[in-house]
Amino acid sequence: MPKTDRIAALKDEITTWRRDFHSNPELLYDVHRTAGIVAEKLASFGCDEVVTGIGRTGVVGVIRGRSSGSGKVIGLRADMDALPIEEETNLPYRSKVSGKMHACGHDGHTAMLLGAARYLAETRDFDGTVVLLFQPAEEGGGGARAMIDDGVMDRFGVQEVYGMHNMPGLPVGSFALRPGPLMAAADRFRIRVEGKGGHAAKPNETIDTLLVSTHIVTALQSIVSRNADPLESAVVSVTAFKAGEAFNVIPQTAELMGTVRTLTPELRDLCETRLKEIVTTIARAFGATATVEYERGYPVTRNHAAQTEFAAGIAAKVAAGAGAVDLEVPPTMGAEDFSFMLEARPGAFIFMGNGDSAGLHHPAYDFNDEAIPVGVGYWATLVETAMPAN
């Protein structure tokens, strides 16, 4: 078992790293400062390999145990990027960069995995190899896929992969996960409606794109209410509607944008098919035309059964008391690009309590530093349990 006193002793230093990352947020693949610090620290810890530029700006650290007779190689992943949000806190370490902040806790994820790296490189009380995956561009950029496309799994021989994310509202010291679908697939669409513009006082001489578009918005709600199985979860949300600039002009064009979230491949296919059918059919009924750009984004984050059971057991060892691990947490319709890693290798994604904080992606959010020993302990326990030293 990990030396909990040693992990506890690292808390203040890891907190300092975390708050530095928080003060200096970077977006998507432009995480050069963060990645540079990560690589520097991994090297200073004595990692056996430190490789940069994987998936553009990702960093990989390799730590070999006291022995490698087991032949096991386990990947642990943390995301590094922030969000384009103006921070609304009065914290002494608040973001120094206007319009950018760590509103999802990736600063904490990165710092905790660095803390685990320091502990594991120092103790090496395991038989096998740990591959630390510091990933850019989780927030919409598909950084996990970029690292996979760069061959990270094959190059470093990763056999299983594990990820972790903080969860506001879940008490510090608690964990939540489930086998199978944990987070949704996230797709996006853009609809362009072409009608016939004209004077608002003569609507009979026009093909009103606003009228067409509002019927489309309403009809799209029938996908979930009338096409999807009531026992399955789906979301179809129109999130942008752009048309017209004057009081007395019926616009020639209108544009809609939105997102579709699903938990199964079959429902994902159904939603895409029905969306396209509804849009084109309604436009034609009004004499207009419409085009649909439908982009499939992150797939379903699907935990593998054996690895989920194992991760739950690890969480129980470090959780704050009995009942602090929920193995049946309901799926969330949020998305996570760790899904690409779970498609490439078996593994599990787990939620860790962040306490009573503002929600993810909220301008008042902050990662709870009291969770740091819990997260570091989870990583260390996972490694030492999965690959026990001889």
Annotated binding site for Mn(2+): 104, 106, 139, 165, 361
Annotated binding-site residues read 104, 106, 139, 165, 361
Question: DSSP readout, 73-136?
Answer: EEEEEEE--BBS-------TT--SSTT-B--SSHHHHHHHHHHHHHHHHHH--BBSEEEEEEES
Write the CA distances from 372 to 116, 204, 259, 325, integer angstroms. 10, 65, 34, 17
Rounded to the nearest 10°, the torsion over CA 367, 368, 373, 374 is -90
- Say which amino acid occupies 248: N
Q: What are the residues facing 187 on neighbouring strands?
A: 260, 296
Write the CA distances from 387 to 71, 74, 129, integer angstroms. 9, 9, 8
Please, what is the angle between helix 11-23 and helix 32-45, to 10°? 160
Please, what is the angle between helix 106-123 and helix 11-23, to 10°? 140
- Return the half-sphere exposure (C-beta side, CA atoms, 13 A cut-off) of residue 315: 28
Contacts of 220 (CB under 8 A, 6+ apart): 236, 238, 258, 275, 278, 279
Buried b (16+ CB within 10 A) or exposed e, 95-124: beeeebbbbbbbbbbbbbbbbbbbbbbebb
Classify the C-alpha dihedral 257-263-264-267 as positive or negative.
Answer: negative
- Is residue 378 classed as helix, strand or coil in its secondary structure? helix
Report how far residue 342's alpha carbon sits from residue 324's, in angstroms, rounded to the nearest whole number. Answer: 25
